[in-house]
A and B are shown apart, each in its own frame.
Chain A
Amino acid sequence: EAGVAQSPRYKIIEKRQSVAFWCNPISGHATLYWYQQILGQGPKLLIQFQNNGVVDDSQLPKDRFSAERLKGVDSTLKIQPAKLEDSAVYLCASNQPGLAVTDTQYFGPGTRLTVL
């Protein structure tokens, strides 16, 4: 079974530029999560989707971050414009069926973003 796929693996941009990350969850997984992991910290949930609906986006900085999961499968996370403090690893995770905490989340390798 293929795991959670993310691309790109690394991205370097200047501040105020925009950037997008892509995630393809494990086939059949209804729930998809985006986490932000700043160096020296644990992952922090940015947004959670159930199919193509948003379950929790309470910690997503909506003035600059956006995410979509239009067909309930893959997802894109965008930052526009980027700030220095957005430098982090962005992790995508998925599980099935998803809303129960007992459902194991499977994580992708992450995208490491550096904002200069």
Chain B
Amino acid sequence: AQSVTQPDIHITVSEGASLELRCNYSYGATPYLFWYVQSPGQGLQLLLKYFSGDTLVQGIKGFEAEFKRSQSSFNLRKPSVHWSDAAEYFCAVGSGNTGKLIFGQGTTLQVKP
């Protein structure tokens, strides 16, 4: 069965520091992978997605993610975090048949001044 694991429930980084959020997936075929961000009281916003091709994908707000098939991972990175990046981040894998998304449990990012 398809599943997504985000090992870190909560991460705190200092403003200006680099960030990496981990995501591991379980999927039988070529995975379709997504990262969404959810700010308090807001809906989920798509940061980036990977379907095929270049394994390093660029997203909005300066985020990028790298697909590593050998590690079943799709980690999200940002070189320099801003206070406005404080939010909850969700990794998801998509079903090729119906478009259904299966989400991880999320990682809450706190940014220290």
Which A residues have a C-beta under 8 Å from some C-beta of B?
Answer: 3-4, 31, 33, 40-45, 48, 55-56, 91, 93, 95, 98-105, 107-110
- A101 vs B105: C-alpha distance when bound (angstroms): 20
Check B101 against A95 for contact (C-beta < 8 Å).
no
Query: Is the beta-carbon distance between B106 and A104 smaller than 8 angstroms?
Result: no
Complexed CA–CA distance, A104 and B94 (Å):
10
Between B4, B45, B101, the greatest number of chain A beta carbons within 10 A of the residue's beta carbon is seen for B101
Interface string of B73-91 (1 = CB under 8 A from A): 0000000000000000010
Taking the closest CB of chain B, its distance from the CB of A67, in whole angstroms, is 15
When chains A and B are docked, how far (Å) is the Cα of A98 from the Cα of B97? 11
Binding site of A, secondary structure by majority: helix, strand, loop or mixed?
loop
In the complex, the answer to whether A44 meets B103 with C-beta atoms within 8 Å is yes
Of all chain A residues, the one with the shortest Cβ separation from B46 is: A104
Residue in chain B with minimal CB distance to A103:
B99
